[in-house]
Amino acid sequence: MKPEGHEGTILQKSKNYVKFHRLLAKAEADGRLDGKHRCPVCGMRYLAAHEADDCCRIED
């Protein structure tokens, strides 16, 4: 990775921040924030148990 200036680092961080909030808004719209079922790995909430199970499932 190339070393970047201070401004570049801040820009990258704010970009990630915006991305995070978009994901959060989407999760909220999907009802995931108050879903009854939680992924045991990352804690993301889902309305359906099978969705929570599939979230971070490791493929065989």
Chain residues in the site for Zn ion (CB under 5 A): 39, 41-42, 44, 55-56
Cβ nearer to Zn ion, comparing 32 with 55: 55
Cβ nearer to Zn ion, comparing 7 with 60: 60
Cβ nearer to Zn ion, comparing 10 with 41: 41
Residues 20, 46: Cα–Cα separation, whole Å = 18
User: Does residue 19 contact residue 35 with C-beta atoms inside 8 Å?
Assistant: no
Q: Is 44 helix (H, G, I), strand (E, B) or coil?
A: coil
Which residue is it, tokens 């680092």?
Answer: 9
